[in-house]
A and B are shown apart, each in its own frame.
Chain A
Amino acid sequence: MNTVPSSTYFSAPPEWGWLIVFYFFFGGLAGGTYFLAVLIDLFGRAEDRPLARLGYYIAFPCVVLSGLLLTLDLGRPLRLWHMLIESNTWRPMFKLWSPMSVGSWALLIFGIFSLISFLGALVEDDRLEWPAGRRVRPPGVLSGLIGVIGGLFGFYVAGYTGVLLAVTNRPIWSDTPLLGMLFVVSAASISAALMILLAQRSRWTMPGVLALHRMDAWVVALEFVVLIAVMISLGPVFRAWLSAWGLLLFFGVIVVGMLLPLWLYWRKQSGDLNLTTEAALVLVGGFILRLVIVFSAQGV
């Protein structure tokens, strides 16, 4: 080992495996769907409300699943609370400069907001009796406030995982500052895709679905640009992806998850409403992206 591309090549892999890949995927979905639901609530029309509610219906179960996956991944799962409370002083544990520390708090707070919005959506759909629940749905100051604060935490949950990887000394992860950005943009693309898929299943035809679809095409295009920027920013470390992982990244993420859906989208400009294929491809690509990033950096 006489010449290495980066000083990061001497660290050890933390053995973050499938649980973390799934967490990155469902955490991205949780933050992304909430973020999109808030955008629809704030900037969409009244007839798009069911789409926003769909976002909240996805976000809450995903954040619960995220917490579960993270807990199971710990060497000592029963000590999960040590992330929040200093176990020997009982004071709050918070390190602004440690993404995992801030992320633990963000997940907790986001979980509370996504629960409130989830209940609000149930009330609006007349599936739950809770008089105050109406007030957390628009229009109204309280609903706007909950949306904006919850949406900010949703964005944080969607993106901090990429920053967390960058704030290490592993090859690839810490050789680019762009993983957080990639994860945020990818969270938006997979979340829009899942919302489109479920809206199609319910045969919803409100205009918001088409708007979401068009937005997803823009976001996937942006994601493609960011991924290329990640590759360039890796510099000599990029050679770590001249491997089976690189092939998977190229075919699974770039071709299947980005170029193919974009091509299908442009072909369907004429108003074809079957958007299922593109959405499914974007979801598959988003999952493979996280899989490649988590595993490839630990095999170096």
Chain B
Amino acid sequence: MAEPMGFYTDTTVCIGCKACEVACKEWNQLPSTNGGLNTLSGDSYDNTRRLDGIHWRHVKFIEQFTDDRKDGRWLLMSDVCKHCVNAPCLEVCPTGAIIRTEFDTVVIQSDTCNGCRDCIAACPFGVIEVNPASGTAQKCTLCYDRLQGGMEPACSKACPTQSIQFGTIRDLRNRAQKRVEQLHQTGEKRAYLYGADEKMLGGLNSFYLLVDKPEVYGLPPDPKMPTRNLKSGSWFSVFGALAVGLMGIINFRNRGAGEHDQEERR
């Protein structure tokens, strides 16, 4: 297996140009929405709005303004599949369509997926959705085809500010740690890494440098594996069945002689 590969996204240098979104769409031949006509969100400069089956990259615009708009700030973050080491989508997929590649990335095989959508409910980041053209669940593949050809993914290649960096996870973590230290030295004490260690779902192979709480960026503070409820949920169901079975046995064995006699009298 090749060394684990992934993305490190430094949100502090993202300028919201959306070159990554365009590059992703071009390389992966993803359709435009609304037949190519503009669909404006109406309440934001961001008109993509979210990741889905035909938007595998999305630059989030977090626009924080006071009511009189005298004060405000922009947070920009290019969002993508996190390629979790312990991937919730891969865990629940009933068809085996979701696989881990030799680059330690997570890919949905579109020719195997049957569109059951269990992975959509399982992904704690809301990354996956159905591509209406294929009827299957789709998301970022970390450009698996480009990686196999020795190229870097289209989005990081297109990023003009190196907000999206591609490389081996080991190398990216070192780079990211240095960047956090640099930001701390220059006074930006809030800078920290999200998902860069094993604590979060075994590590996110696409991790982030953030300067505010994860929730502000629309990221879950504590994402978990779906199977956390499997054992307890199953046992409670068994208890439920035992209780129902017992109620059935008691009622059918000892059916209340009174009711029976009454019935016979009729």
A contact set with B: CB distance below 8 Å: 1-4, 7-16, 35-36, 39-40, 43-44, 48, 73-77, 79-80, 82-83, 86-88, 93, 95, 97-101, 104, 155, 159-160, 162-170, 173-174, 177-185, 188, 205-208, 210-212, 214-215, 218-219, 222, 226, 271
Q: Would B219 and A163 count as touching, CB distance under 8 A?
A: no
Pairwise interchain contact B117-A75, C-beta atoms closer than 8 A: yes
Which range contains the number of B residues in contact with the other chain? 35 or more
What residues on B are CB-neighbors of A181 within 8 Å?
Answer: 233, 236-237, 239-240
Closest to A187 in B: B244
- Minimum CB distance partner of B126 in chain A: A12
Selected A-B contacts with CB under 8 Å, 8 pairs: A1-B218, A10-B218, A98-B118, A155-B241, A174-B229, A211-B255, A218-B247, A218-B251
**Contact status B92-A10, CB under 8 Å:** no
Query: Does any Cβ of A come within 8 Å of B34's Cβ?
Result: no
Of B91, B118, B128, B218, chain A has the most CB atoms within 10 Å of the CB of B118
> Among the listed B227, B243, B253, which residue makes an inter-chain contact with A97, where contact means beta carbons less than 8 Å apart?
B227
Given A97-B91, A165-B121, 6 further pairs, Cβ under 8 A: A10-B219, A39-B245, A82-B97, A168-B226, A207-B260, A214-B251
Report how far A97 CA is from B240 CA in the complex, Å.
Answer: 20
Which residues of A sit under 8 angstroms from B128, Cβ to Cβ? 12
Q: When the two chains form their complex, are residues B244 and A169 in contact, meaning their CB atoms are under 8 A apart?
A: no
Pair B215/A4 contact, Cβ less than 8 Å? yes
Contacts of A184 in B (CB 8 A): 237, 240-241, 244
Q: Contacts A13-B120, A174-B229; is A88 near B256 (CB within 8 Å)?
A: no
Chain B residues with CB below 8 A from A168, complex form? 92, 118, 121-122, 226
Q: How far is the CA of A219 from the CA of B255 in the complex (A)?
A: 15
Are B236 and A211 in contact (CB-based, < 8 A)?
no
Is A169 a contact of B122 with CB atoms below 8 Å? Answer: yes
When the two chains form their complex, are residues B91 and A98 in contact, meaning their CB atoms are under 8 A apart?
yes
Is the beta-carbon distance between A11 and B121 smaller than 8 angstroms? yes
* Shortest distance from the beta carbon of A187 to any chain B beta carbon, whole Å: 8
Stretch of B11-19, B106-114, B146-154, B160-168 on the interface side = B106-114
Q: In the complex, which of the residues B220, B230, B244 contacts A163, with contact meaning CB atoms closer than 8 Å?
A: B230
A1 touches B236 (CB 8 A): no
Docked pose: A278 CA to B136 CA in angstroms? 43
**Bound complex: CA of A75 vs CA of B135, how far in Å?**
5
Contact A98 B92 (CB under 8 A): yes
Instruction: Report B98 CB to chain A, min CB distance, Å.
Output: 11
Q: Give the residues from 77 to 99 in chain B that come closer than 8 angstroms, CB to CB, to chain A.
A: 88, 91-97
A-chain residues with CB within 8 Å of residue B127 when the two chains form the complex: 12
Given contacts A10-B126, A39-B245, A173-B121, contact A167 B252 (CB under 8 A): no
Q: How far is the CA of A11 from the CA of B162 in the complex (A)?
A: 28
Q: Which residue of chain A is the closest to B117 with respect to CB atoms?
A: A14
Q: Given the complex, which residues of B lie within 8 Å of A79, measured CB to CB?
A: 95, 112-115
What is the CA–CA distance of A4 and B260 in the complex, to the nearest angstrom? 56
> In the complex, A258 Cα to B110 Cα: how many Å?
45
The docked-state distance in angstroms from the alpha carbon of A61 to that of B219 is 44
Report B-chain residues with C-beta under 8 Å of the C-beta of A101.
94
Give min CB distance, B253 to chain A, whole Å.
Answer: 5
A215's contact among B115, B130, B247, by CB below 8 Å, is which?
B247
Q: Verify B259–A207 contact, CB threshold 8 A.
A: yes
The reply on B202 being an interface residue by CB < 8 A is: no
Query: Which residues on B sit within 8 Å (CB–CB) of A166?
Result: 229-230, 233
Q: How far is the CA of A210 from the CA of B255 in the complex (A)?
A: 8
Contact present for A104 and B94 (CB under 8 Å): yes
The answer to whether B124 has its CB under 8 Å from any CB of chain A is yes
Binary interface profile of B, 55-74, with partner A (CB < 8 Å = 1, else 0)? Answer: 00000000000000000000
Which residues of A are found within 8 Å of B240, using beta-carbon distances? 159, 180-182, 184-185, 226
Residue of A nearest to B128 (CB): A12
Whether A169 contacts B124 by the Cβ 8 Å rule is yes
Contacts of B245 in A (CB 8 A): 35, 39
Q: Which residue of B lies closest to A191 (CB)?
A: B244
The answer, yes or no, to whether B263 is at the interface (CB within 8 Å) is: yes
Q: Which 4 A-B pairs have the closest CB atoms?
A: A75-B115, A180-B237, A79-B114, A75-B135
Chain B residue contacts of A7, Cβ below 8 A: 124, 220-224
Q: Assuming A10-B125, A74-B115, is B215 touching A2 (CB within 8 A)?
A: yes
CB of A143, distance to nearest CB on chain B (Å): 17
What residues on A are CB-neighbors of B169 within 8 Å?
A: none
